[in-house]
Structure formats: structure tokens, C-alpha cells
Amino acid sequence: MTVDVALGWAIDLLAVLLLALGLKGLSKVRSARSANGLAALAMGLAVLGLLIQSPLTAAAWLWIAIGTALGGLAGLLTAQRVPMTAMPETVALFNGCGGMASLLVALGVALFQEPGGLVEAISIVVSVFVGAITFSGSVVAMGKLQGWIGTPGWTQGQVRHGLNIALAVAALVAAIALPGNPAGEALWILVGASTLLGIGVTLSIGGADMPVVISLLNSYSGVAAAAAGFVVGSPLLIVAGAMVGAAGLILTQVMCTAMNRSLLNVLFGGALGASAGGHVGGGGDEAGYTRITSCSAEECALALEGAERVVFVPGYGLAVAQAQHALRELAKLLEAKGAEVSYAIHPVAGRMPGHMNVLLAEADVPYEQLAEMDTINPEFPRTDVVIVLGANDVVNPDAKNDPASPLYGMPVLEVDRSRQVFVVKRSLGAGYAGIRNALFELPQTAMVFGDAKAVLQSLVTELRSAA
């Protein structure tokens, strides 16, 4: 073993250890920032280790430098400019970039090198197949979350199953033929069939289920990366891909459980929320409500003044309004008056798991005050006031009470059991699922119409003036 190879392997081992520590640290809000830095350092070391072991020409170094500069600049600009509300779309785009990277690596080896054996040939097949599906599926997912792509009517019938099965069969046939002729027609058939399969499967899924799809595609990107690791002989890429793949599958299962749906139902059973054209957070039928009670911010503030226990339920509307800092300011006022404050976090609140946690962490909300659904639900009967901020489906009591509801069986935050509920929304528009919310018509519920940030600032003003 040469010195360069030994040094490269030592750097790879260090990178694997740092990556494991980084992923472990991401499980806690307090350590997430430093853990993310560790993971980034690990990936940088992995690239360095691979370059040390690879004899490269001056032209190759130039292309690597250009690619690194362009990619780093794109990442920097994205991190600075993308708002928190667009984070799910960004995650989908990054998943797609990961899939495309794995696909290109496999294509490069298949076209310009001779595969070293059966394991490498199989790895090329997996990397191409999963990478292409991840890329095209992620692009569609991003487009649907952005509202650029709807859910065509034909994708809700049996036609889509026939097309997807035909594409899967074509990909399978090409995959079987590929090891015998890595640079032949089978390679391009596999790329084309896999790319179209990713589009076909994702296009039929509605906006309500898109967070689950993004999580699954994240897992796919890990699988593709692990396969690419076998192709190029990178231990860290294999380990990192395996970790991402496993974590993505676990997260997908958690989200499916929170929505009371199986993964097969999400992928093949029709699109929840597809009636909204895949546009998340559709308008809904406001005329369907008959017993709505509305109130002003002043009336809501009066109820808060006498409350001993207050629970906030943040939703996507809070993120859109960028109201997390106003919420924290209101919570501090209530705590100064002796009220017990907590935040109820549903597993699929917002557009992806952890969305609300990160949003509230931006406003320095104590992590101890964030309560998961199973913890907070038994506490609602003794809660004086619940303020729902832009959440919808995750507080709909029909999920418990109406077997005919599309949400029936989905675990929800049981805010209807509390003494008084104020729902802050711009309108009576529907949420992800595109259905009416029975909570809005309950006798203990009052709607406070308006932008979440403006309403919270009005509540702060009213409470301060009453002090």
C-alpha cells in the first residue's frame, strides 16, 4: 500500500467517525448547528481523501476547482435566500441533486471505464435506476409544492398503473442486460425508463402527501449514494448513503403512521388533496360553514389575561407570516403574568417533519416547551386557552369522529377538548386535504381572521396596555 493510499484511507476513516457524530448531533436542536458543521467537514475530508488516492491531470484539477466553486456558490446563495417556508421545496431539490450526482457517477464509470466485477456492475445498475428516479421524482415534488405542477386527472385512474408497470418492466429488462454491455443501449433504456418512472409515480400524488414523498426520495438519494460509493470505492459514501437511506425510511414510516396511511396507499392509492391540483394549502369551500363565531384580537387578549395554561399550535400559516418572533414575544408576556405556556407540535405540522421545531428555534423558544402530540393530547382538557396559528388538518376533530372523512383515523392534536380555542387564519380556506374543518364550528371555538404576525402583534399590544 502506497503512502497516498494509506493517507487517503486514514482520512476516510476520520470522515466516517465525524459523519456519525454529526448525524447523532442532529437529533437535538441545541447541537444541530455544530453537528451540521461536523457533517460538512466529514464530507470535505472524504473528497480530500479520494483526491489524494487518485492520480489526476491538470485539466481534471481545473474541472474539479470550477465545479467546487460553482456548487459552493450555489449552495451559499440558496442558504442565504431561501425562506423557511420554502425549505421543503429546497430539500426536494437537494434530493434531486443527490440522485443526479449518483447517476452521473455511475454513467461515467459505465461509459469510460470497464466495471471491475459483478458487484460494481450491480452497483452501477442500482445507482442509475435509483438516481434517475430520485432526480425526476424530486423535480416533480418541488414543482408540486411550488404550485407549478398540478395533478392531472388521468393520473388518478388505472391508466397510470399500466404506464408505471410498463416503465418498471422496461427498466428491469435493461438492468438485467446492462452488466453484459455497460455502455450499450441497455444503459440508456434504463436511464430513460427510470426517469419516466420517477415522474409517473410522483405526478399522481397530491400535495397533502408530498412531505411523505420528499422523505422517501431522501431515502432513495441515500441508496443511490451508497451504490455510487461501491462504484467509485468510497467507504464514506457507502456509510453516508446507508445512513441517509435508513434514516429516510424511518422518517417516512413515522410520517405515514402520523397520517394513518400506509406507504403503498400514499404511492399507489390515489392522491389526498389532489382535488386542489396538488397545490398545497388550497382555498376550500368557505360557504360550507354555517355556525362560525369570529372575534377580535382584543376579545382574544381578554381570554388570555385570565388563562393559567395556554397552548400554541403552530402551523404552516405561522411560517408563511414569519410570525415566530411575535409568538415568542406573546409567550413571554403570558409567562410574566404567571401562565404556563407550551407549544403542541404535530409530526406533520408545516410541510415536513421538524419544520415547526426549527421555525420556533429561530425565535429562541425553549426546547422544553415543545410538546409532541402524544404528550400534549392528555393535557388539553386542563388547558384554558389554545391558539391555533395557521394549522388546519392536524387539529380537525373529524379525524376522530367522522368515519366518512378522508382524515379518519389520522392522529390529530385534540384541541377540541380544551376549554377555549382561538383559530388564527386569513380565511376559512381548507388545508392540505382540501376539506372543511369541524373544529371551526364548535361552540368553544372562535376565529380570529388575519395575518398571523399582525394578530399576534395586536395581542401583544393589548396585553401590554392592560398591564
- Active-site residue, 393 included: yes
- At 283 the three-state DSSP class reads coil
Q: With contact defined as beta carbons under 8 Å apart, do 395 and 413 qualify?
A: yes
Pick the closest to residue 415 from 459, 384, 436 (CA basis): 384
Pick the closest to residue 452 from 318, 310, 294, 316 (CA basis): 318
Q: State the amino acid at position 396 in one-letter form.
A: N
Q: What would the grid cell of residue 113 be? A: 471505464
Q: With contact defined as beta carbons under 8 Å apart, do 109 and 231 qualify?
A: yes
Q: With contact defined as beta carbons under 8 Å apart, do 422 and 387 qualify?
A: yes
- Name the pairing type of β-strands 421-425 and 370-372: unpaired
Q: State the amino acid at position 445 in one-letter form.
A: T
Three-state secondary structure readout of 305-316:
HCCCEEEEEECH
Q: With contact defined as beta carbons under 8 Å apart, do 173 and 194 qualify?
A: no
Cα 257 from Cα 251, distance rounded (Å): 10
Cα 396 from Cα 436, distance rounded (Å): 9
Secondary structure element (H or E) that encloses residue 385, with its range: strand 385-389
Phi, psi of 418 (to 5 degrees): -80, 170
Cα 220 from Cα 18, distance rounded (Å): 23
Among 12, 364, 374, 393, which one carries the catalytic annotation? 393
Q: What would the grid cell of residue 182 be? A: 455497460
Secondary structure element (H or E) that encloses residue 423, with its range: strand 421-425
Pick the closest to residue 340 from 310, 367, 305 (CA basis): 310
Handedness of CA 18, 24, 28, 29 (dihedral sign): positive
Residues with active-site annotation = 393
